[in-house]
Structure 1
């Protein structure tokens, strides 16, 4: 079964089942942005505006089970006073639904620009449970403030990796890791307001992909687009990126405290040869799909790109191997030098430990 979200009809979902299209219009308020499908258990969770829905795609004629999860009234009022729309912004838009364990789902919503998270209990196979826990958590660093902001998140091994902004204005974007185990919720993030780390990023997706047979080598990859610092201060060129962090990164002890010490990013190039040797660049990543293979360490990566040119409008699909992505993170590296302080290839001796390693 394949699930397709139709963004042009915010109150309509289309499910492709056995070659036929089945439409679901049982939602209360639309705003569907988060979907989580469990094919083994036969259910689909849908996150919408102020509601979470539990669907049985094979039995859409049965009543849909719902949970009402609104934003606090004081947060809605504060949102309204800040000039936001009551209809499209000042509500709890559910943006994140990730499996936590066999019986619980971790859910986060915008909370009327006051993001919040909770655990959704689905129970075991024969249990009829569908309820939120009584205690909520802050969603800062886990979910955007705005229902319109692109973001990416992945929950793995009890830790949530999220690419999102962490302020009301959406100006402070970061790649976060928050531990959901225990009560401390220790976090690590990219450096704040440093354009060399992230420069107005728009996150597309993230994935946990093992490097070797040892779990100590596991990495999390983020795919996004951002303003290119290499292009110069006044050039607003956009580049697509792939970034990675190591799962066992604990941050620095004297410097880079609560900051990634393994963060690396590389440009994701999608182009076709053009006349006179000039390539046509598809710089803006729109979507990403990871196709699993028999080797879990080497899935195939498919990217959907568009052009940022005002002269030529087009789209393309580019395919990447994990070997080529890993090779990019092994160098060569770029740095700034010279009187005009341009980004050029670093030709000196690579320091040990080299960038992006523990």
Structure 2
């Protein structure tokens, strides 16, 4: 079994591979292919399909059952091309295949697909049919074109893309575009616009970047103001210092046509800013989680202001850890409207630019709110274009909401690598549940609750081991399922396993899982349509005294006490671990003719055998 089982380390149980399968909460794509490196690249909700790219294969899987009638295209490179790749010395780890790295919807019936092509990127069209019931999935013969600027040569190098649905379509991609993997660029191809890219081999623009995510986020109701945002990390250094990893958010105007004399066919609106994910010590000194690993954009009712979740790790050797930081678009725009970074002085240090800013302000889109009379960036004065070329970086950094991470992990044997977020409606409010992938092949389900003292309380609801691999990818949630892909295959998981929390109302309530509630008989999936009197759920406090009948409270209103009696000469099973992480277990031993109870180690079997009165104190921690 290549999928590993379930391990909820906060609860007193583990499930093997077969046990996990028997729960019906996880399904693995088990079609036998001689392939690796599965990546979920596109969801097609109109067809209820999920498109997956792997080495030499394109897959179309049913969103509801990924093993139901999978449609498969075999798209390898020609034998001659593979031979040329091997002779160039590029097949040390099997790279001389066609690793699918881009799948974008082209129209109602076709997909645009690109692969590495054994270090010679290629693209083509796939006919997916007009309706899901047609079960059509085939390559369009004779329609192969170059994938340069769309897909990387090297399958180990990350790339991100966005196909903007204007007609004809325009493809934006952040990618390495050469055989040696030294020329990184943000490219625009296809469509009627001029092909564009970032300034070549200009370390001020991009310096050994690792691309993470791309997202179109509108700035206003004016379409000409629309910008495409790129998230990446790169190397940066001050004078004389060793290059350090820095996380970035960059942006370009969609209608950027480059300059007239300078920056011809190159972006003239490209700007970038640093993303900070800090922890402040008692001495006021900030420590940064500096390597951006993944980004999730949580949409809101206001399309101009989504919430940005970023997963960060530490690049240095001082300590090991990772964190999740949350950013607002208001803070992002404030930084891009702030001062530009400029190098000057005897030490050539970065300072805020104090000179005159040319008009229109560098980074402003033509024909937009502030430049209605300029229809193209080619109309911009040369001083604007030259300023952009030399000042692509903002001086201020983007800090997270509340200036601190939402989730932090240090001194643990794993790091967060991926994230996706679900919005859940519970009985006592709406909550955001974070699904955080780790480099040990597990997924933690985390909820962060506000407290009365303006602080937050983090709860790890469960940890699920999905793959015994260090790297995998999570795709946004769909149909109450979480889709995960890795080198060994694809799995979809249910977002909840309510029955594992226990068979009692208190167990279900103490779990504080917004997906689950006590329905009067069992811990089951919460539904907002249920009658209120038949559901028991308290996510914010997890207090079963308020929700469950049959439990008595002692003098402490936050304490539950369950009493279990034993008979002399008999045996009793005493649990050493609570089912919920939010309770503690203490066994008290009371000897005969004694009014004094004392805590004892439950391993003292002889004393327990003689016990007249044994009680369990489950103390709720609020």
Query: Do the structures match in fold with TM over 0.5?
Result: yes
Distance 1:71 1:188 in 2: 28
> Is 1:222 aligned with 2:234?
no
Distance 2:223 2:125 in 1: 26
- Tell me the equivalent position of 1:77: 83
Q: How far apart are 1:293 and its partner, in Å?
A: 0.2
8 Å Cα contact 1:34-1:96 kept in structure 2: no
- Tell me the equivalent position of 2:386: none
TM-score (norm: length of structure 2): 0.53
8 Å Cα contact 1:218-1:246 kept in structure 2: yes
8 Å Cα contact 1:282-1:316 kept in structure 2: yes
Decide which of 177, 183, 195 is 1:172's aligned counterpart.
183
CA separation of 1:121/1:332 partners in 2, compared to 1, >3 Å: closer, same or farther? same
SS of 1:191 mapped into structure 2:
coil
8 Å Cα contact 2:340-2:352 kept in structure 1: yes
Cα shift readout 1:47-81 (whole Å, capped 9, x = no counterpart)? 01101011113244433211111112222112101
Q: Which has the larger radius of gyration?
A: 2
Cα shift readout 1:271-327 (whole Å, capped 9, x = no counterpart)? 011131111101100000000000111100000001112011111101011111111
Q: How far apart are 1:234 and its partner, in Å?
A: 4.2
8 Å Cα contact 2:62-2:69 kept in structure 1: no
Q: How far apart are 1:233 and its partner, in Å?
A: 5.0
Name the stretch that deviates more: 131-140 or 105-114: 131-140
Q: How far apart are 1:151 and its partner, in Å?
A: 1.4
> Is 1:263 aligned with 2:270?
yes
Map 1:1-12; keep pairs closer than 5 Å: none
Decide which of 114, 121, 124 is 1:115's aligned counterpart.
121
Distance 1:335 1:307 in 2: 27
Aligned residues: 340
> Structure 1 segments of 4 or more deviating over 3 A?
59-63
Decide which of 237, 246, 263 is 2:253's aligned counterpart.
246
Map 1:137-176; keep pairs closer than 5 Å: 137-157=145-165, 158-176=169-187
Distance 2:151 2:178 in 1: 11
CA separation of 1:233/1:257 partners in 2, compared to 1, >3 Å: closer, same or farther? farther
SS of 2:283 mapped into structure 1:
helix
Distance 1:277 1:87 in 2: 46
> Is 1:23 aligned with 2:28?
yes
Q: How far apart are 1:111 and its partner, in Å?
A: 0.2
More RCO (CA 8 Å, sep 6+): 2
Cα shift readout 1:81-123 (whole Å, capped 9, x = no counterpart)? 1112276200000011112222221111000000011111112
- Tell me the equivalent position of 1:295: 302
Distance 1:71 1:338 in 2: 54
Distance 1:296 1:27 in 2: 42
Name the stretch that deviates more: 188-197 or 94-103: 94-103
CA separation of 1:63/1:127 partners in 2, compared to 1, >3 Å: closer, same or farther? closer
Q: How far apart are 1:41 and its partner, in Å?
A: 2.2
Decide which of 197, 214, 223 is 1:189's aligned counterpart.
197
- Tell me the equivalent position of 2:140: 133
> Is 1:334 aligned with 2:351?
no
Q: CA RMSD in A?
A: 2.0
Decide which of 96, 101, 110 is 1:104's aligned counterpart.
110
Distance 1:276 1:222 in 2: 34
Distance 2:67 2:172 in 1: 36
Distance 2:41 2:186 in 1: 22
Decide which of 270, 275, 280 is 2:282's aligned counterpart.
275
8 Å Cα contact 2:30-2:67 kept in structure 1: no
- Tell me the equivalent position of 2:577: none
SS of 1:327 mapped into structure 2:
helix
SS of 1:75 mapped into structure 2:
helix
Decide which of 211, 221, 234 is 1:203's aligned counterpart.
211
SS of 2:90 mapped into structure 1:
coil
CA separation of 1:269/1:27 partners in 2, compared to 1, >3 Å: closer, same or farther? farther
Decide which of 52, 55, 64 is 1:49's aligned counterpart.
55
CA separation of 1:337/1:145 partners in 2, compared to 1, >3 Å: closer, same or farther? same
Distance 1:38 1:65 in 2: 14
SS of 1:145 mapped into structure 2:
coil
8 Å Cα contact 2:77-2:117 kept in structure 1: yes
